[in-house]
Amino acid sequence: MNVRQILYQFILLTYIPANIIFAETILVEGTVRHANTYQEIPYVNIYIKDHLIGTSTKLDGSFELAIPASQENMIIIFEHVSFDTLQLPLQQALQKKRFYMTPRIIQSSAISIVAQRNNSKIQNDIPHPISIISSKKFDIQGYVDAGDLLKNEQSVQVEEELSGKKTVALRAGNPDDVIILYNGIKMNNLYDNVFDLSLINIEDIQHFEIIRGSNTSLYGPEAFSGVINIVPKIYKNYYARFTQRIGTYASGDWNLHLNYNYSDRWSLSYSYKKGATKRRYQDEDETSQLLLN
């Protein structure tokens, strides 16, 4: 027996079992979402009932469950501490790509919990009260940009120009007395020390950190009124996304977002935004063609 025959038999013996195993493997995949808000749910335990087969969802709610052998009576179970348990037959789960879980409501008596708070990193530098606006408060509120969101915050004044540029002032100060940080990087213009908040889309923002008062000398004399730090989401669960909004006064905008995640800590993102509005002057009648564009 020569070397070629030995190699042929070795390939034949290893190739056939691989095909048999592959043919018997069934892949169940999809995304687990909140039944009310449709947001992705991470860390959901997914397993086959009475079998040692399981997995869990990723940060974007997606999962893949490989089942070595299929049986018609298999049941797939979705479990999370904050949601009701979801059970589906295997054949029904194979026909779905989105799995919705209902929040769990537990009746209990009053509970008092005292624990150490996880302070923001910026509080290690400045011992001053900080307001944190989490993304859970504005994810589904329909705000256009960061300036539109901060209008509702206490002691924050947002000035909007006719061109659409939005600047922010704290405690009746001036816009050039506020430092805007994006994940710790100063964004203020060197010419007039202001930053246009309309350039910041809030779809990929994790939270806002607002420091009010003059106790911000660590960031220089320009931070006399305060500091606003915008913390983005490091991990984004998409490669490409297109959004469009339509509003009153013939206004609207559209956004194109491109993203590529290298790892859990590195990503490359590109965003392009374009908007317009058309409004008639107050003293002009409806037949006038004089408009503010």
φ and ψ at 10, to 5 degrees?
-65, -40
Q: Provide the residue range defining the domain that includes 195.
A: 123-232
Compute φ and ψ for 254, nearest 5 degrees. Answer: -135, 150
Residues 175, 86: Cα–Cα separation, whole Å = 51
Domain total in the chain: 3
Predicted pLDDT at 18 = 41
User: Same structural domain for residues 191 and 274?
Assistant: no
- CATH of residue 83's domain is 2.60.40.1120
What is the structure's pLDDT at 60?
84
CA distance 224 to 203: 29
44 part of a folded domain: yes
- The tens digit of pLDDT for each residue in 191-221 reads 888 888 888 877 778 888 888 876 556 777 7
pTM given for the model: 0.54
251 in the same domain as 174: no
Give the Cα separation of 187 and 185 in Å (integer): 6
